[in-house]
Structure 1
Amino acid sequence: MAAKSGNRCNFWLPKKKRSCSNTRIESSMFCGNHSQRLDGEWIPCPIDPSHSVLQENLEGHVKRCPLLKQTVALSGQLFYQKGINAGNEEEEEEGKMGSCCPDSVVTSEMKRNLLYSMSVSKFHQLIKKIETVHGGICNDIEDSYLSPEACNVWFNKEIDRKLPFQEKHVLQQGSILGNLEKIGALKRCAKNVECCEIDPEEKDDDKNVPAVVEFGAGRGYLTQMLADCYGVKKVYLVERKSYKLKADRSLRQKENLVLERMRIDIEDLNLNAVESLSGVPYVAIGKHLCGPATDLSLRCCLSRQDGESPVLRGLAIATCCHHLCQWKSYISKTLAVTASFFGLSE
């Protein structure tokens, strides 16, 4: 075993067969991640619940939390409206459920415990109900895997830029865009990969080329592919986290392309209040959105429309993690109630 560096953490990582490479805390043999937690009551940070702090340090922490500045700046934005897409407690369908579906978050552990507490007969009854409902809804839904010709520059690896390229992701992204083209929401760009140069005669014709709103955008490579292959004028990347190695730099180099990255939770985004989207047709896209994020995105796009609202031309979302769905934000409560999933009897 190689000798440990004097200022490195001494925590041994069995899977990597080496010690942690982080710098250790001055008064400890370990780094901050591997030091034993101090005794005391740890509570979630009120600004960013993804981390916790000691109760006794809370007052000082909230003044210097890394997300404090971003939270303050966000609260001043017109499109920020806390919980606007979270779901309405007074929805008719939810009222029918009574108190069996509380508004609090139901964790995966709670769901597992509920299943484990079921009798065998009730469990089989639930499975049969799910299969029946799924069969009734999905019989007429066909798989649509497309490889549009417009995306050949990506499929053939002809892109001349240093972007992360993984074939499986490119094929998935191409199919999402191909299905939008199939329904007429996107039109193929007649030019090459640098097709964002708009003809002078079309410069003021925003109706021909829709804007793009990508939910859960991450690094933005789905939008990068769309911009390369279909030619768009406005791009809005919605993501609550901050990522490195983003496609933003490449997108900003395109002439006539306006890019806006909105670091905000989809739950709090009022799309109707985005001034530059007022009255503009747009296409909504998302890749690998979890169940709750998909519901929130649908609520965001399908909110009440008026003459000044953005005009939704098409929507394509590749979902994942359906088991994380929550009743409050669930977009189709009527279906769940009508299907009688709740109150299953022996």
Structure 2
Amino acid sequence: MAAALPGRCGFFLEKKKRFCKMIVGRGRRFCGEHATMEEGSSRRIVCPLDPKHTVSEDKLDKHLKKCNSREKPRPVYYVENINSGPADGDDMLQQVSLSEHSRAQLESLLDKLKTAVTGLQCDVEDRVLSHPALQEELNNPKNGDSAHKHLKQQSSILGHLEALGLLGRGRCFVEFGAGRGKLSHWIHEALKTRDDPETRDHLESWDDLQLLLVERCSTRFKVDGKHQGVGVEFERLQVDIQHLDLSKVPLLTQKKLPLVGVGKHLCGAATDLALRCLMETPGLRQETGPPRKRLKTSEPAGPESVVPAALPGPVPNPDPGLHPGPVQGLAVALCCHHRCEWRHYVGQKFFLQRGLGAEEFSAFCRMSSWATCGLRPAGQDPPPQDPTSQRGDHEEHEPAEETDTVNGFLSAAEREQVGRLCKRLIDGGRIHFLRTRGFDSRLSRYVNSRVTLENVLLTAVPSSSSSSSSS
């Protein structure tokens, strides 16, 4: 048996048939994990906070104060379940697999689906846009297929923001499910390179632009570091959208800039949580005066580029001096409807008005995966998914639930169509929610399906009727 490498641990790992490769301290033979083998060493015990590692028993108290698994103090903007829907018991409904439904039950569900989508005014229009800020990177031959695919999506999202009059200075962009923060990066790049005589003299100060990135898990290879020291306020919050109170984020209460919500593949229930976060946060200030003057963008893109005032009607705020600005609009790429949850879903009232409830919603969410996963070749498994992430960066989707009952009366093409109808109905509830809050909302296919099967973008700006009533 070969000896341990110099400066490496001398403990032999039986399972791996080799010595431990950990570096040891000066004068030591074993690493920290195997220090119990050292003569005169203290006994090592399992860390009570995380059983994946051990600690010297005589140093336990000191370790617990700095262990990475210790409970950290919650930030001021953490308010537990502030963006969750009401816990009325329906969220505890037992999930029933489609394979447990009889053919008669499935036929009944399909009849309810077809009735519910009849006359539904939320058609998805084809509207593939782009933005010149990404053109050079799109033409870069060093980018592989995956990078090129994401650049196309980011370019179209920026194009939609531009067309809606939302891409400009004097705003705070809140990126939900930010991941590495690429979308915020390109928003900053687009505004930095804009040749606007009215703002050219202020390009170095960036006093009228904020970018807030929200992601619940730690992320590697973040692009935030590229923007350190450039003057723009770039801040990242590691918090679940479910517990985020925007009215208590210090960055937003400093300058009270209007908010624009953005997101690229905001997965399942995360979309509903983000909508509640923007539209139902108690402390968000809403304007009651005349409409805000629209900040100049590069070129008007037709009537859509005029941004009306925010939803009128004051919202009670215990401290009127500390609040962010009004919501000026949003653009969110939708993803993974099968991961939606009834409690968080913003379209509950929309479903109930159509005689549908939590049970039908659960079934339609499962069926929605047929729209995308039915196109995967037989036997091909989806890529592994990070359960802690709220975004669908890799567009991973669970396989469609195939059963003998379903296969007996639905072809593959029919299952795909049913899946699309389920997505359309779920998104219809989101549009209904936004309209009841005074926003004009629409669904657009913002990229070709060859780029991604999850190619629908949800956009919203305050409606003209809200503007006129406000003025």
Map of 1:32 onto structure 2: none
Q: How many residues are aligned here?
A: 266
Give the aligned residue type for 1:129: K
Map of 2:231 onto structure 1: 256
Give the aligned residue type for 1:79: Y
Q: TM-score, normalised by structure 2?
A: 0.49
Map of 2:104 onto structure 1: 121
1:174 has 2:155 as partner: yes
Deviates more, 1:230-239 or 1:321-330: 230-239
Map of 1:306 onto structure 2: 285
Task: Output aligned runs, 1:6-155, within 5 Å.
Answer: 10=15, 66-68=68-70, 71-72=72-73, 75=74, 77-89=75-87, 101-102=90-91, 104=92, 111=95, 113-134=96-117, 136-137=119-120, 140-155=123-138
Give the aligned residue type for 2:107: H
Give the aligned residue type for 1:263: Q
1:316 has 2:331 as partner: yes
Question: How far apart are 1:65 and its partner, in Å?
Answer: 5.7
Q: TM-score, normalised by structure 1?
A: 0.65
Map of 1:246 onto structure 2: 222
SS in 2 for 1:124: helix
Q: Which runs of 5+ in 2 are unaligned?
A: 6-10, 23-32, 36-47, 54-59, 193-205, 287-322, 361-471
CA distance 1:316–1:26, shift in 2 (3 Å):
same
2: CA distance, partners of 1:230 / 1:158:
25
Give the aligned residue type for 1:236: L
Question: How far apart are 1:26 and its partner, in Å?
Answer: 5.8
2: CA distance, partners of 1:9 / 1:238:
44
Give the alignment partner of residue 217 of structure 1, picking from 178, 195, 209. 178
CA distance 1:7–1:250, shift in 2 (3 Å):
farther
Give the aligned residue type for 2:188: A
Map of 1:198 onto structure 2: none
CA distance 1:138–1:229, shift in 2 (3 Å):
same
CA distance 1:323–1:63, shift in 2 (3 Å):
farther
Question: How far apart are 1:116 and its partner, in Å?
Answer: 2.6
CA contact (8 A) 2:171 2:260 kept: yes
2: CA distance, partners of 1:265 / 1:227:
24
2: CA distance, partners of 1:8 / 1:173:
48
CA contact (8 A) 1:79 1:273 kept: yes
CA contact (8 A) 1:82 1:268 kept: yes
1: CA distance, partners of 2:123 / 2:347:
19
Map of 1:184 onto structure 2: 165
CA contact (8 A) 1:8 1:22 kept: no
SS in 2 for 1:129: helix
Give the aligned residue type for 2:232: L
CA distance 1:144–1:132, shift in 2 (3 Å):
farther
Give the alignment partner of residue 251 of structure 2, picking from 246, 256, 276. 276
Question: How far apart are 1:293 and its partner, in Å?
Answer: 0.8
Q: Deviations over 1:108-163 (max 9, x none)?
A: xx63x34233221121221232244345435533132211234323323399xx9x
Give the aligned residue type for 2:185: Q
CA contact (8 A) 2:273 2:344 kept: yes
Give the alignment partner of residue 334 of structure 1, picking from 340, 346, 349. 349
CA contact (8 A) 1:154 1:225 kept: no
Percentage of matched positions with identical amino acids: 32
CA distance 1:137–1:173, shift in 2 (3 Å):
farther
CA distance 1:292–1:228, shift in 2 (3 Å):
same
CA distance 1:67–1:145, shift in 2 (3 Å):
farther
